[in-house]
Amino acid sequence: MNLIAPPLSLYVHMPWCVKKCPYCDFNSHGVKGEPPPYATYVDALLADLDADLRDFGAAAHDRPIHSVFFGGGTPSLFAPELVERFLDGVRERLALPAGTEITLETNPGTVEHGRFDGYLAAGVNRLSFGIQSFDDDKLRRLGRIHSASEAEAAVKSAQDAGYGNINLDLMYALPQQTQEGALADVERAIALAPTHISHYQLTLEPNTAFAANPPPLPDDDHAWAMQEACEQRLAAAGYAQYEVSAYAQPDRRCAHNLNYWRFGDYLGIGAGAHGKVTDVQAGQVLRRWKTRHPKAYLTAPGEAGRIGGDGPVAVDELPFEYMLNALRLIDGVPMADFTERTGLPAERITPALAAARQRGWLTDDPGRLHTTALGQRFLNDVIGGFLD
């Protein structure tokens, strides 16, 4: 296959949180008893990075890092000094250009006053706050450990520390939520003037407490009405939707997530982290994921035991994998990117494209993969059409 290597990002998973939320299906582990071995974990992260660079060889070496994202769990449980130690280690191993977007997820209930200065000094230049709602009753139902006032105070504290690039995560279609309640959350988020807002629907994921004991959620029609109303309010406030759940002020789109959606490459470091690397020489797109449980991950730093699984993406699966990401973008992607990032000719997906266009799900632009408004509403069906 004639592949072209896309940008390479770095995802770093910090697996611990104060308490597991009942809706969460991420690889997160509540802190119980003794504090987690944070410093030891940072050492393991660097050993993991060394081993991935060794294993992927030329497919990963000598490629500048496009963005860094600390996800979790709750990365803000890690002291700024530990984050700085990790980033210094990255700079020793890879090119990390000045100004590279470096995001750290944080929850308002886990940040000590004054820590934002430390994260900024460590090199973190973008914060993502897991707010979810500004309604104390909804926060309680979601199992969050912060209040609405604490959320607002945390964001203002970060701004006072010098952060000018901040994302707020908000959920809608919460238990017994009305459209007025969803809009009220958006209004309070806008009042804080973040540069980016992630606004996504609460869904019941398998193997979560909510799935086992479902709360009363709005039906699909009410959820769709909430989404449309909130989308219009965000647009009026200057937050343009550029992805299914992402809204940004001009020039403030999340570089890291854009790289995912454009089928870019990323090294996944940490317990349960997933990575994707394009091996141009071998003509393969490689996937790798790490052992999920922190204890198992820490037993063999940098050794084979840290790997939960890996291997090339099957050629027949590449169209679906690509569309699963690219079609989330409101403006779509150039058709040429499909061939460059999968190595497959455009003819490979001609029947699926024709079927989607016939249903009014994709525009008729032959040079661009671009969903219509109807296609965005039925996005799962559109993407499913590319399954082999």
Is it the case that residue 384 has pLDDT exceeding 80? yes
| pLDDT tens, position by position, 134-167 | 999 999 999 888 999 999 999 999 999 999 999 9
pLDDT per position as a tens digit, 239-297: 999 999 999 999 999 999 999 999 999 999 999 999 999 999 999 999 999 999 999 99
Residue 8 main-chain phi, psi, to 5 deg:
-115, 120
In whole angstroms, what is the distance from residue 198 CA to residue 259 CA? 16
The answer on 333 and 245 residing in a single domain is no
pLDDT of residue 247: 98
* Cα distance between residue 15 and residue 292, in whole Å: 9
The separation between CA 308 and the C-alpha centre of its own chain, rounded to angstroms, equals 20
Whether 30 shows a pLDDT value over 90: the answer reads no
pLDDT attached to residue 350 = 95
Please list, residue by residue across 27-56, b when 16 or more beta carbons sit within 10 angstroms of its beta carbon and e when fewer do.
Answer: bbbebeeeebeeeebbbbbbbbbebbeeeb
The answer on pLDDT for 114 being more than 80 is no
For residue 111, the model assigns a pLDDT of 66
Determine the pLDDT at residue 14: 97
Provide mean pLDDT across the span 52-81: 95
Mean pLDDT of 55-74: 94
| DSSP character string of 31-58 | --SSPP-HHHHHHHHHHHHHHHHHHHGG
CA nearest to 8, candidates 234, 256, 317, 208: 256
pLDDT at 63: 94
Q: What pLDDT is attached to residue 24? A: 80
> What is residue 113's predicted lDDT score, i.e. its pLDDT?
52
- Name the E strands within the chain: 8-14, 16-17, 29-30, 65-72, 101-106, 126-132, 166-172, 196-201, 240-243, 246-248, 265-269, 274-279, 284-290, 307-312, 333-334, 368-369
Identify the burial level of 116 via C-beta atoms within 10 angstroms of its C-beta, where 0-12 means exposed, 13-18 middle and 19 or more buried.
buried
The pLDDT of residue 1: 67
Q: Please give the average per-residue pLDDT across 105-122, as a whole number.
A: 84
Q: Let me know whether 77 and 182 are in one domain.
A: yes
Verify that 113 and 238 share a domain, yes or no: yes
Give pLDDT tens digits for 316-373: 999 999 999 999 999 999 999 999 999 999 999 999 999 999 999 999 999 999 999 9
Task: Output the pLDDT for position 112.
Answer: 60
User: What domain count does the chain have?
Assistant: 2
Q: Are residues 106 and 244 in the same domain?
A: yes
Is residue 113 situated within a structural domain? yes
pLDDT value for 126? 98
For residue 337, the enclosing domain spans: 317-384
CATH classification of the domain holding 102 = 3.20.20.70
Query: Could you give the CA distance from residue 253 to residue 69 in angstroms, rounded to a whole number?
Result: 14
Whether residue 73 has a cis bond before it, omega within 30° of 0: yes
Q: Show which of 259, 280, 309 is a domain's final residue.
A: 259
Residue where a domain stops, chosen among 259, 282, 303? 259
Contact at 8 Å (CB) between 324 and 383? yes
Do 358 and 225 fall within a single domain? no
Average pLDDT, the chain: 94
- Residues of the chain with pLDDT > 70, as a percent, come to 99
Say which CATH number the domain at 338 has. 1.10.10
Block residue for tokens 């296609």 = 375
Residue 300 lies in a domain: no
The reply to whether 336 falls in a domain is yes
Q: 321 and 184, same structural domain? A: no
**Tens digits of per-residue pLDDT, 196-219?**
999 999 998 888 888 788 899 999
* Collapsed DSSP state (helix, strand, coil) of residue 243: strand
